[in-house]
Amino acid sequence: MTNERRVLVHPDQESLAGAVAARFITKTLDILDAQEIAHLSLTGGSMASAVLDAVWASPARTSLDWSRVHFWWSDERWLPDGDPERNDRQARDALLDRLEIPAEQVHAMPSADSGLDLDSAAASYAEDLARFGTDGLAHPVFDIAFLGVGPDGHIASLFPHRSGIRVTDRTVIPVRNSPKPPPERLSLTRPVINGSQRIWLVLAGADKASALGLALAGASRDEVPVAGIKGRRRTVFFIDQAAASEVPEELIAREY
Ligand SMILES: O=C1O[C@H](COP(=O)(O)O)[C@@H](O)[C@H](O)[C@H]1O
């Protein structure tokens, strides 16, 4: 098995979401055949809800024992609980609240009305992660980590030319003055994300083409944070045709 980054292109956003959802269900079934519990990390952004909606719409979702799945997030917007812009709210609406999952297995990052300040919230999520650490790690090894990619190449809340992408001594950081609203956020750090078995980046739209092309052409992670992302076993970019225009042809596998 190769650990090279792969790029799979689908014709449009709808077929992309459906294909990723189908692969997610089958891969999670495989994972749960091999181990008792699966740890999955979710993301926010434009494609995240589309994929989770497609999971819900798939009849195959009933074959999964969701009570053996833990859900985490790679970043969160520092907003009150229930705010529609929160990444966890969007995932709950699309899928999680519709499934039978023990509440303690949905590991949402703290909210702005939790009574914690941003630094304590980061420390609190780090503690939650550490409870599931294995092999001396202070975090679980995610079996699948989903990531969106911003038009500037940011992943989670790790933005270009900011220190966050370089942090290696913590698992969770507070983010202030984010270039994308809201200004305050929480984010996993790169070592935690890259510790995942599989990283699945899902992105669509022409506004993502340039960042993706730069990342795959060897740009630095400071310039284009997604360039610094690589999972332990697999790193797959699931993209639509519109996002593919600057991807080197030899890296592309078309799924149609
Ligand atoms: O704000 C965020 O943006 C990124 C990318 O979002 P997109 O809408 O441009 O796809 C997302 O991955 C991240 O989780 C989120 O907080």
The pLDDT tens digits for 125-184 are: 999 999 999 989 999 999 999 999 999 999 999 999 999 999 999 999 999 999 999 999
Q: What confidence category does residue 248 fall into, taking pLDDT thresholds of 50, 70 and 90?
A: confident
How far out from the chain centre does Cα 188 lie? 10
ipTM exceeding 0.90, yes/no: yes
What are the sequence ranges of the domains in the chain?
A: 5-254
Q: What is the mean pLDDT of the chain?
A: 96
User: Which CATH code, of 3.40.50.620, 3.30.70.1730, 3.40.50.980, 3.40.50.1360, is assigned to 5-254?
Assistant: 3.40.50.1360
Q: What percent of the chain has pLDDT over 90?
A: 94
Q: What is the pLDDT of residue 249?
A: 84
Residue 124 CA to ligand 1 centre (angstroms): 22
Residue nearest to atom 8 of ligand 1 (CA): 45
Q: What is the pLDDT of residue 200?
A: 98
- Around ligand 1, the residues with Cβ closer than 6 Å are 43-47, 75, 77, 87, 148, 150, 156-157, 180
Q: How far is CA 160 from CA 52, 118, 207, 219, 239, in A?
A: 27, 21, 16, 11, 21
Query: With 60 as the cut, is the pLDDT of residue 1 above it?
Result: no
Edge-to-edge strand list for the sheet holding 144-147: 69-73, 38-42, 144-147, 198-203, 234-240, 5-10, 252-254
Q: What is the pLDDT of residue 253?
A: 80
Predicted TM-score of the model (pTM): 0.97
Substitution site in 41, 43, 193 for ligand 1 pocket (most atoms within 8 Å of beta carbon): 43
pLDDT tens figures, 62-114: 999 999 999 999 999 999 999 999 999 999 999 999 999 999 999 999 999 99
DSSP letter string over 193-249?
A: HHTSSEEEEEE-SGGGHHHHHHHHTT--TTTSGGGG---SSEEEEEEEGGGGTTS-G
